[in-house]
Structure 1
Amino acid sequence: MCNFIIYYCIMIPQFILPSNLQLKAETIYSEPGVLYIHTAVCQKYSACPICGKRSKRIHSRYSRTLLDLPISGHMAKVKLKARKYFCDNAVCPRKVFTERFDYEIRPYYRRMVRSNDLLMRMALELGGNTGAAISRYVGVPVSPTTILRVIKGVDDWAFKKGKTYGTVIVDLERKEVLDLLPDRESGTLAEWLRKHPEITTVSRDRYGPYALGVKTGAPHASQVADRFHLLMNLGEATKRIFQSKGKELREVFTLYNDPKRGISSRVEIEQPAPSRLETAEPNISTANIGVARQHKFDKVKELHSTGITLRQIARITKLARGTVRKYVLMEQLEKRQSRSSTNLEAFINFLLQEENRGKTYRELHKSIVQMGFNGKYTQFCCKMNEVYSMQAFIRTKPEAPIVVKTWSPTRLSLMLYMEPEDLQGNEDRDFLKLLFETLPQIKQLEQLVKGFKQLFAAKEDGLLKNWIEEAVKSECGLKNFAKNLLKDYEAVNNAVITNISNGQVEGQVNRIKNIKRKMYGRAGFQLLRNMVLAKSA
């Protein structure tokens, strides 16, 4: 059942309705979760939307229900008895029109403007699906389609990565997005620039239609090429040079990996040095003591001689106090004795025979167990390791395979940008040194690459022209790149001698991507543009 609670007009607070709206609240009644506010219009006339002439002659009345901001967690709906007026202008084509309001209420709207603004803020921050879910909790329930329609016209197509591109225009001084264009054609950009004659400097990437669009739409504006894209173009040109020298690079790789050069990347495995090369018979009981154990024994003796307590020595060496106490009382470290003795000595000669050299420890252990060995497999392995470490004729471990070290064209092009101290390890430095000695044109290429990079630090007019002339005369393969710079010389030179950077644009592009991802497949261009501009304001 619905509970109806009626109040007199004088008891209704004034702040329930917008203060600038000519409405008077008369009664309020409630249903579960909803407050209904009956209102009466206070304005004495209304203006015709076609001719603008005011009219006081009422034609008829009709009811409107408008969703307002929630009140105390309840959905608020304003019941309005609106009026229709006669237009008394004889030449006006509109004879009857609905009542118009200056604030908060618009024709055909089913929400107050302030309620619509709330939904717009939610849509801008949360997107369609999430915004619609939250709207139910704040007392303005709408569907995802409706919440998106608040900030755009109905448009459900989306940009496709790699197929459809747009253009973002950013104010580099204020760091704000000025506009978003639906494509990257020169005509679209030129038309936009014609509407903004106040623009005098344009920073852009090296896409050809952009240069043409700026030249057409704003011939008075100076163009500045993006430094990042210039370095990217140089890196791509350098990469192509290395790709064209595949045969020469393979020869340098072969030479670099030659063990005779002493630079081979073979992984050396240290073999334990035999202690008795002349001894033909094994002597297991006199095996060497472990280096780590001997080091800790010496450390304990050294610390104890300085007066440090046993507890402190145990903390420093990370040994048990009992072990520290035992080491202090010992004159010299003794070899650990196995808990149980075995009869392995009886099978040593059998194990060292030529036909047993290729067998694994498992196979050898299985053989001597059948012959009467009384020890465990772990004991067998420890003893055999000691035996092999003392024999001159032990089985030699196979050499580790030689790892052939190579570098990709992409990596080589990056290495030319780097200073020697920034390279990763000695391998990169050694290989570059060999590469420069073998292919002198690559050394010349490195000098040009680093020289181009230094142009942006020096910022002197004329250096770019000298660099282009040097690159055209060189035999390293940068002629085409240098000639392409001449075609866009003014913009590239402005990038060299000025501090204007296009980095802010790259940051805005990342922000646009994040906004687009929030649209859940509904990021039409108009919606995307509205959201980007709203968040930039």
Structure 2
Amino acid sequence: MIPHFILPSNLQLKAHTIYSSPGELCINTCAYQKYSVCPICKKKSIRIHSRYFRTLLDLPISGHITKVKLRARKYFCDNIACPRKIFTERFHCEIKPYYRRLMRSNDLLFKMALELGGNKGASISGYVGLPVSPSTILRVIKRVNIQPNSLTSGVIGVDDWAFKKGRTYGTVIVDLKRKEVIDLLPDRESGTLAEWLKKHPEIKTVSRDRYGPYALGIKAGAPQANQVADRFHLLLNLGEATKRIFQSKGKELREIFKLYNDPKSERSTSAETEQPAKRVLEIVEPNISTANNSVARKYLFDKVKELHGNGITLRQIARITKLARGTVRRYVLMDSLTKRQSRSSTNLDAFINFLLMEENRGKTYRELHETIVEMGFNGKYTQFCHKMNEVYQMQPFTRTKTVTPIVAKTWSPARLSLMLYMELEQIKGNDDKEFLKLLFDKFPQIKQLEQQVKGFKRLFQSKQDGLLKNWIDEAIKSECGLKNFAKNLIKDYQAVNNAVITSISNGQVEGQVNRIKNIKRKMYGKAGFELLRKMVLAKSA
């Protein structure tokens, strides 16, 4: 006896026989519905023309591929006005014309496709007993009509996502209360966003980053909505401004590096026994980046020259400065440090000391690369791996009885910017704390810069209206170098102030952007916009 639950209960099919072959299970069935409906004129017909066989894939049973061999019928259409004279038997569910699978198995493929994409979905489908090709997986998704929600909660977030990083971008719109993607837009132009917003008059609040076209698009498409600048991007902009300040003061920083690394220096007691230096550091917002000739690189060049002049061998200089011997040899032969011209060059030398710190041991290359990218590293991951392999291949320095080398310590502008942002208890390294103390003692305006940076950070914790205006006024009057940054905040004052006094942020949007990246990776980056949009919306519904 054939169990009744093998076939769908809402389908008028009767199983006659069932047999198995290696890896397959075949069920012979026939339909017993009394009539069929013409697909053209919708008239019922009971007059049978002929019979034919269809083979349909069903859900797997015990890991076996299940095939339903259906003896279907063709009917005459007796409606004289209908152009169709003969039509195949129609079913109200589960079986569709021209389909080679039951709809319940098609639904399973659709769910697998959303989770795994084309190639992976096809691979897993073969293991579960429903083998299809990657192209079939994609066709299953394309057939499903998925539309975005017509209404939102009124609080949305907007951000861009990359088709191809650095070249082509789209826009993702997220409902911040429901925590789901509402829609994807094919570009990040202000006009496209404005047209979408005009269709959603219920929107009252929009969170965004500081990308100018988004601000214009929101103003044109939803003038009634309050704009909220993202706190993370505001702090990121502040860090970039602080880094540029340090980059513009290379000469002063090299002097501090030399003073800090000088073994004869009495920096630990100079603050107590001597009067502080009267030199005033004039800090301005620079227009030109000096990333190719970093402060650390210039200092190490001078250090190599000094050590070589004292008769130290090239091998020992390499151990002291943490440079490759080839670099040391090249520095010795050079009269002055030239600016790097190669397009493939990076500023990794500025981060070598940070990467070799005790706290970074045991971390993977990927983790280290992500860390220094946030600190200002301008190279690719492969360049980073190649350079780090060279660094780790260097043999440990063997100390002699007569020479005790001192490793030169340097700090990149990005690292210094991050240290100003951090609280004292968050700075783990003693070297970092000592260098900051020396820097503050020699240049009081850096201390003023630190106070401004931490004051801006505390704005988002207090949530009080009016504090932002006071901070901007102080930054413009001070000589710490944040004048241009403060003036830019005035241009977008209302959105920045809303970020200060409200708890709305773009964090949920950034998470959805990461999910879009994962979906793209599953499809090996070959998904067009319509297919990608459909996959994102289907998984958000």
Q: CA deviation at 1:220?
A: 1.8
- Aligned pairs for 1:210-359 (under 5 A) are 210-263=214-267
Secondary structure in structure 1 of the residue aligned to 2:141: coil
Residue 191 of structure 1 aligns with an amino acid whose one-letter code is E
Equivalents in 2 of 1:533, 1:478: separation in Å? Answer: 42
Counterpart contact for 2:78–2:85, Cα < 8 Å? yes
Report the CA distance shift for 1:43/1:238 in structure 2 as closer, same or farther (over 3 A): farther
Q: Does 1:83 align with 2:87?
A: no
- For 2:78 and 2:193, the matched residues in 1 are separated by 45
Q: Residue 82 and residue 521 in structure 1: after superposition, are their counterparts in 2 closer, same or farther (change >3 A)?
A: farther
* Match in the other structure for 1:46: 37
Q: Deviations over 1:189-215 (max 9, x none)?
A: 233333333322221211222222222
Distance 1:87 1:176, change over 3 A: farther
Is the 2:34–2:46 contact (alpha carbons within 8 Å) kept by the matching residues of 1?
Answer: no
User: How many aligned positions are there?
Assistant: 390
> Normalised by the size of structure 1, how large is the TM-score?
0.65
**Unpaired stretches in structure 2, ≥5 consecutive residues:** 145-161, 269-399
For the 8 Å contact 1:85–1:96, the answer to whether it is kept is: yes
Q: Percent identity?
A: 74
Instruction: Indicate if the aligned counterparts of 2:440 and 2:446 stay in contact, CA closer than 8 A.
Output: yes
CA shift, 1:475, in A, is 2.3
Alpha-carbon distance between aligned partners in 2 of 1:438 and 1:35, rounded to the nearest angstrom: 86
Q: Which residue of 2 aligns with 1:104?
A: 94
CA drift at 1:105: 2.0
Query: How far, CA to CA, are the matches of 1:467 and 1:419 in structure 2?
Result: 19
The superposition leaves residues 313-351 of structure 1 with CA deviations (integer Å, 9 ceiling, x where unpaired) of xxxxxxxxxxxxxxxxxxxxxxxxxxxxxxxxxxxxxxx
CA 1:167/1:256 → structure 2, altered by over 3 Å: closer, same or farther? same
Task: Indicate conservation of the 8 Å contact 2:35/2:46, yes or no.
Answer: no
8 A Cα contact 1:68 1:78, kept in partner: no
Amino acid at match of 2:60: P
- Deviation of residue 31 (structure 1)? 5.3
CA apart distance, 1:239: 0.5
Paired residue for 1:137, among 124, 127, 136? 127
Relative to structure 1, the CA distance from residue 515 to residue 477 in structure 2 (aligned partners, 3 Å threshold; closer, same or farther) is same
Q: How does 1:111-510 map to 2 (within 5 A)?
A: 111-152=101-142, 159-263=163-267, 397-510=401-514
Letter in 2 for 1:476: C
State the alpha-carbon separation in 2 of the partners of residues 535 and 12 from structure 1: 38
SS in 1 for 2:35: coil
SS of residue in 2 equivalent to 1:170: strand
Separation in structure 1 between the aligned mates of residue 126 and residue 469 of structure 2, nearest angstrom:
65
- The residue type paired with residue 469 of structure 1 is D
User: Any stretches of 5+ residues in structure 1 without a counterpart?
Assistant: 1-10, 265-395
1:108 and 1:195, CA in 2 relative to 1: closer, same or farther beyond 3 A? farther
Rate the CA distance shift 1:130–1:197 in 2: closer, same or farther, 3 A: same
Deviations 1:398-431 (A, max 9, x none): 3423443221100110111122232233432332
Look up the SS of the partner of 2:105 in the other structure.
Answer: helix
Q: One-letter code of the match for 2:72?
A: K
Alpha-carbon separation, structure 1, partners of 2:92 and 2:460 = 57
Of the structure 1 ranges 162-171 and 475-484, higher mean CA displacement relative to structure 2 is found in 162-171
| Paired residue secondary structure (2:163) | coil
Greater CA drift, 98-107 or 223-232: 98-107
Q: In 2, distance between residues paired with 1:116 and 1:484? A: 54
* C-alpha contact 2:419 2:427 (8 A) present in aligned 1: yes
Kindly state the Cα deviation for residue 184 of structure 1 after the two structures are TM-superposed: 2.3
Question: Structure 1 residue 242: deviation in Å?
Answer: 0.8
TM-score (normalizing by structure 2): 0.65
Q: What is the CA distance between 1:233 and its match in structure 2?
A: 0.7
CA distance in 2, matches of 1:127, 1:439: 57
Partners in 2 of 1:89 and 1:500 — Cα distance?
A: 66
Which whole-Å CA distance do the structure 1 matches of 2:98 and 2:253 have between them?
73
* Deviation, structure 1 residue 63: 4.4
> Does the residue aligned with 2:119 lie in a helix, a strand or coil?
helix
Residue identity opposite 2:539 in structure 1: K
TM-superposed deviation, 1:89: 8.4
Matched, 1:70 2:74: no
Give the number of the structure whose alpha-carbon radius of gyration is greater: 1
> Which moves more between the two structures, 404-413 or 67-76?
67-76
Aligned residue in 2 for 1:318: none
Deviation track 1:56-89 (CA, whole Å, cap 9, x = no partner) reads: 3769555433222234534222324243564848
Residue 103 of structure 1 and its aligned partner are, at CA, apart by 1.4
Taking a change above 3 Å as real, the CA distance of residues 245 and 24 of structure 1, as seen in their structure-2 partners, is same
How far apart in 2 are the matches of 1:461 and 1:190? 29
Q: Report the CA distance shift for 1:25/1:422 in structure 2 as closer, same or farther (over 3 A).
A: closer
CA change 1:24–1:476 in 2 (3 A) is: same
> What amino acid does structure 2 have at the position aligned with 1:505?
V
Task: Output the CA distance in 2 between the equivalents of 1:502 and 1:97.
Answer: 56
Tell me, yes or no, if the aligned pair for 2:26 and 2:68 is still in contact at 8 Å: yes
Cα 1:125/1:38, change in 2 over 3 Å:
same
Are residue 516 (structure 1) and residue 520 (structure 2) matched? yes
